[in-house]
Amino acid sequence: DTAVSQTPKYLVTQMGNDKSIKCEQNLGHDTMYWYKQDSKKFLKIMFSYNNKELIINETVPNRFSPKSPDKAHLNLHINSLELGDSAVYFCASSQDRVVYGYTFGSGTRLTVV
């Protein structure tokens, strides 16, 4: 059983489109995150939800909108995709403020053409 699962694994889309990435965790964790990893491998936090409440919202364009229907799910919707959005997006989860570190999903490689 995959602890943190993301879908899709690969996403190729044209500029201007709207797309969503889904994330689910079965670890019983109460906090979930979205990170963006660019071509230089830098991991940058985008959002975090704790028990469905947004707790971290970094400087991210308004085109990115997270949604957490319950504490086991955190989805990422991106409007009007741009070339610069191409990256690998990782979902992660943790319990009790990262006491044991994050568990990452397998990532979604987004390519905007």
Partner 1 sequence: GENVEQHPSTLSVQEGDSAVIKCTYSDSASNYFPWYKQELGKRPQLIIDIRSNVGEKKDQRIAVTLNKTAKHFSLHITETQPEDSAVYFCAARRDSSYKLIFGSGTRLLVRP
Tell me how far apart the alpha carbons of residues 18 and 40 are, in angstroms, rounded to a whole number: 25
* Integer CA distances (angstroms), 39 to 22, 69, 100, in order: 22, 30, 28
Rounded to an integer, what is the distance from CA 113 to the centroid of its chain? 20
Residue 43 binds to partner 1 (criterion: CB under 8 A): yes
Q: Report the residue number, 53 or 79, with the smaller CB distance to partner 1.
A: 53
- Residue 97 in tokens: 């403020």
Of the pair 58, 82, the CB lying nearest partner 1 is at: 58
Nearest approach in angstroms of CB 73 to partner 1 is 18
- Contact positions vs partner 1 (CB under 8 A): 31, 33, 40-45, 48, 50, 55-56, 90, 94, 97-98, 100-107
